[in-house]
Structure 1
Amino acid sequence: MAITGVRWRALSAGLALLLAACSGAGAPGGSGPASSLLPSSSPPGSAGRPGGAAGPWTVAAENALPGSPDWPISAPGATEEIQGFADHAGVRPGAPVGMFVSTTASSFTVRAYRFGWYGGARARLVWSSPPVPGVRQPAAVVHARGTAVAPWQRSLSVPTDGWPPGSYLLRLDAASGGHRWVPLTVESPSVAGTVVLLQAVTSYQAYNTWGGANLYTGPDGSAATRARAVSFDRPYQDQDGAADYFTLEQPLVAFAERLGLPLGYRTGLDLDQDPQSLAGAAAVVSEGHDEYWSPAMRATLTAARDHGSNLAFLGANAIYRRIRFEGSALGADRVEVNYKVPQEDPLYGKDDARVTGNWPDPPDADPQSALTGQAYACYTATDGPLVVADPTHWIWAGTGVRAGQQLAGLVGPEADHLDAGNPAPAPLAVLAHSPLACAFGPATTADTTYYTAPSRAGVFDAGTENWICALRSDSCPGVPDGDRQAVQMATANLLRKFAAGPSD
């Protein structure tokens, strides 16, 4: 986003607490027009899981396994009691993960939870470590450009042999009672024919204040002292170490896994490192706030669209900040660079294709709307209604919505819109057209759009971050259940159609 995220962070924390309190309750659907979008219970059968009975692994079979409702952290303790990070954001199954942990306790354990639906439990315990001796590691070191790192020694290596692909949180449990999360994606060996859920780790890191600074503010809270580069070699500060996972990703993961579709898993870093990382994907789904993209990441996603992979942006402000990566002592792409002001970047005027700033702006402007269909509008003053514009579109099938109907509280806290000053594919269908009160600047509109690329790939942009909130199975603050269920039905329509391939 273009300003500091005070209100968004408060909402994020509130949603995380609510999710923990309701970890086993509620199901998407219920009464109302979207009540039949999902099965009433997990699919039957239990064969075909790593570590279980023989047979091919599937999302449906995985979610038929019993979940682990004890996964939430209810009493995290002081930050210093335990915290940690991994040396990879994502790994293929079987690859070891180095864990760097600092704790004031005599020992700690690691518990790996795979997140999904699991009959409403939302997570399954896949692996636990034996007790590991605890060590209080050094304080943060801040390098040039305000880059904070944790100069820690490796505490243990976590094996992922037999772990199914998916979205994981590793829970650090101190012997003294403190707890913290460490996010990890176990990547699909192949994503061919799958709906890929893309973890926005670059946005998570851009907002991470551990060590004193992120890409928005510095230790004194001002933009002037912000970092110009941030490191993955440090824990996440927010949501007990989970970054924005519970607000922006977990509702989508639970929803998509409950649908039982063939799913694949990637992080944004995969797209930078491997131009074939999305090869053969039926669809790629970007979560609620996927803001920070390198040129290589964008090129990989564009190539996927041009080869027939459908794209869904279930949020707003996607592909807005232009970044580049540098390596650290722990590996490639461990430092994320974004000066925000291009003239500050040492590459300005020397290698403008790699200069960091915003995608729509010079010196090498390439507005994100050419891919997403829309431009970033603004950070909202208040959450507003999503106003249905075209109820005849197949996305709204079965929802019962009418033209002009207002779905309360769904536009915000950031939004996209159609902007005549930015390129957009044509023809482009407007599915919702909503009034938008910006926190700064004049009022405008927010849009929900869909277009079909020449490859026949469909591209959907929700145009609002609160779309992800509506996927929660319990409640979304400020959104009535009937309106939330309409969005869930629309999302089920979208993902099911996208799973079938090009969807013109």
Structure 2
Amino acid sequence: MSTDKDPDFTSSRRAFLKTSATTALGGGLLAGAPEPAHAAAQSARSNVIAQENAREGTLDWQLSRVRLDKSDGFRSPFIEGYCSRQSVKAGETIDIMVSTAPESKFTLEIFRTGYYGGKGARLMKVLGPFDGKAQPMPKPGEKDLHECRWEPTTTLAIPEDWVSGVYLGRLTTLPEQSDKPYWQTYVIFIVRDERPANILFQCSDNTWQAYNRWPTHYSVYTHPKGNQGPWADVSFDRPYGRQSQYTGIVNDPLSVGSGEFTSFEQPLSYWLEQHGYDVSYCSNSEMLTPDRGLKCRTFISVGHDEYWDIRQFHSVEKMRDEGVNLMFLSGNAVCWVTPMRAGFDGRENRIMFRGGPYGGGQDYVKDRQEKNGPFPEHGPDEGLLIGARNGRPINGGGDWIVTNPGHWIFEGTGMKKGDRIPGLVGWEYHNLAATEIPGLEIIAEGPVWVGGETPSHYTATVYPGPKGNFIFNAATIFWCQGLSHPPGHTLPWSHWSRPFGPDERVQQITRNFLNKVLA
């Protein structure tokens, strides 16, 4: 097992100064591009993220041996687990539930994901060995709910010095005989804080859970009545299985247990922390009120952010109206109203379902209602918040094509009208611009191809908020694939189209927006 140790304060400070100097001299900017304007904004506060990333990372944090119950299976019964909460603050505790079948001793290593000199994570704590046992499979409840009631294996007290971030717990079996194989999987949780920050990174964990088919076929998409109705309840009290819902998009067994984070969100986190941005992290459930977001200057929706409780919508709407900048580096975001309720023992926000469509009175909403309803919930027009709408069809693949190269968001990219970033759009996107918003500008749009041949359309937009703030909608789940390629990352593909990975133009566009709104 890994035996990484935290460096002492002196060496950490020395590394921080070295990292800062390196960033100032060559932080990955395109030739002629402006220096990061966020640097001045951050100088007034301690940048805990930069200091954290100056600590020694570890190369040994990924899964190396994963075994599913069958070749096309969704779970790893040999070792699997889940956490009692989506997120936790320093000083609080979180229970971690683990099952091993057959029974086996195991260890639990906790890693914070970040940049860490390109290594991608830092070892925070090693727990165990524990005596594992097979925990009971839940009986299906009403609406096919699979809610585990496993005994806690351990209770983790979050140290006061753990920095906000996305944390992976690597579970590893310890075979009694040295010639027997070991097996691994992840558990995942977020450490949040309440400090003012330049950027609030919202993990899309509601959507992770909506698509989670653990143990076999129990996502919101797999109910016998249909895959688009309000028929299925899903619980956070169960492990995350392989991302089997995305066969043909991401089929990465080495992400088992991590939801969608490593596939669709880690490239953004890795890039932000690489460049020293002052970022704090939260789950979807932290956004049920606007309080956390109002302490931050910019809010980011990332990756596949499809499922929002109506309270999230009104929170982010309030944040925009109070001057918080919004970045939708996501596709198909704010598509379904997702009511959340307490679990079996009263812990809040542990069960959710697809309550109904966002979209107000748009035609595509009527279509969803007629084909898949009746729905008990109905959301407002998401386009008036995010700048574009979720029409139909909503999946496919294509190139991100510039239509407004004179916009400030393209400064330093060298891009001209018609220039394209290959494969960046997919597998879901935003396709109908909310042109009724005053000052809204379409900056990129073009065709996407459903099934490789059937045409659809996406639209990326920027519009001004009421207090000098801005809202950027990149209009694709794959945007963050153009920012970085963390260790072990697997590029997705969809509809016979794929992103290429890190692209200087995607990096510069993202940097330009942040420079402007954080200046």
TM-score by length of 2: 0.77
Aligned ranges for residues 418-497 of structure 1 at < 5 Å?
418-419=432-433, 424-439=436-451, 443-473=455-485, 476=491, 478-480=498-500, 484-497=503-516
1:77 matched to 2:67? The reply is yes
Partner SS, residue 290 of structure 2: coil
Matched residues, number: 438
Match 1:234 to one of 238, 241, 250: 238
For the Cα contact (< 8 Å) 1:380–1:437, is it kept in 2? no
CA distance in 1, matches of 2:209, 2:462: 29
| 1:440-474 C-alpha deviation (Å, 9 max, x unpaired) | 99633211100011122210100111112112237
State the shift of 1:124 in Å.
Answer: 0.6
| Correspondence for 1:335 | 351
Distance (Å, rounded) in 1 between the aligned partners of 2:413 and 2:372: 37
Secondary structure class of the residue paired with 2:239 = coil
Alignment correspondent of 1:121: 119
Map 1:233-382 → 2, pairs under 5 A: 233-238=237-242, 239-272=255-288, 274-330=289-345, 331-340=347-356, 364-378=378-392, 382=396
Shift of residue 142, structure 1, vs aligned partner: 1.1
Q: Secondary structure at the residue paired with 1:444?
A: strand
- For 2:136 and 2:59, how far apart are their aligned partners in 1? 34
Paired letter, 1:71: W
What does 1:177-196 align with in structure 2 at a 5 Å threshold? 177-190=182-195, 192-196=196-200
Deviation at 1:291, TM superposition (A): 0.7
What's the secondary structure of 1:443's corresponding residue? Answer: strand
8 Å contact kept, 1:141–1:148:
yes
Q: Is the 8 A contact 2:325 2:469 kept in 1?
A: yes
Partner of 1:203: 207
Q: Please name the residue that 2:517 is paired with.
A: 498
Task: Mark the CA change 1:322 to 1:423 in structure 2 (over 3 Å): closer, same or farther.
Answer: farther
Match of 2:15 in 1: none
For residues 366 and 423 of structure 1, the distance between their equivalents in structure 2, rounded to whole angstroms, comes to 16
Cα 1:388/1:101, change in 2 over 3 Å:
same
CA contact (8 A) 2:107 2:126 kept: yes
Show the counterpart of 1:213: 218
| TM-superposed deviation, 1:418 | 2.5
Q: Please, which of 411, 420, 426 is the counterpart of residue 397 of structure 1?
A: 411
- Counterpart in 2 of 1:24? none
Taking a change above 3 Å as real, the CA distance of residues 336 and 424 of structure 1, as seen in their structure-2 partners, is farther
Contact 1:33 1:399 in 2 (8 A): no
197 and 100 in structure 1: CA distance in 2 versus 1, 3 angstrom threshold: same
Give the letter for the 1:316 counterpart.
G
Q: Which runs of 5+ in 2 are unaligned?
A: 1-22, 40-44, 69-75, 176-181, 243-254, 359-368, 493-497
CA separation of 1:98 and 1:423: change in aligned 2, threshold 3 A = farther
Q: Deviations over 1:282-310 (max 9, x none)?
A: 00001011111111111111111111110
Identity %, equivalent residues: 27
Name the aligned partner's letter for residue 284 of structure 1: F
- Structure 2 Cα separation of the partners of residues 123 and 100 of structure 1: 23
Conserved in 1, the CA contact under 8 Å of 2:239 and 2:257? yes
Q: Give the counterpart letter for 1:467 in structure 2.
A: W
Measured after TM superposition, the shift of residue 100 of structure 1 is 0.8
Conserved 8 A contact 1:58-1:262 = yes
Is 1:289–1:317's contact at 8 Å kept on the other side of the alignment?
yes
1:136 paired residue number: 134
Gaps of 5+ in 1: 1-26, 44-54, 343-354
Contact 1:217 1:225 (C-alpha < 8 Å) held by counterparts: no
- Post-superposition CA distance 1:67-120 (Å, at most 9, x none): 111111021234111100001100111211101110134322211111111111
1:409-467: CA deviation from partner (whole Å, max 9, x where unpaired): 11111111235xx6752221111111122349963321110001112221010011111
SS of 1:197 mapped into structure 2 = strand
Structure 1 residues 77 and 377 mapped into 2: Cα distance closer, same or farther (>3 Å)? same
Distance 1:135 1:448, change over 3 A: same
Aligned equivalents of 2:382 and 2:237: distance in 1? 29
Q: CA 1:93/1:365 → structure 2, altered by over 3 Å: closer, same or farther?
A: closer
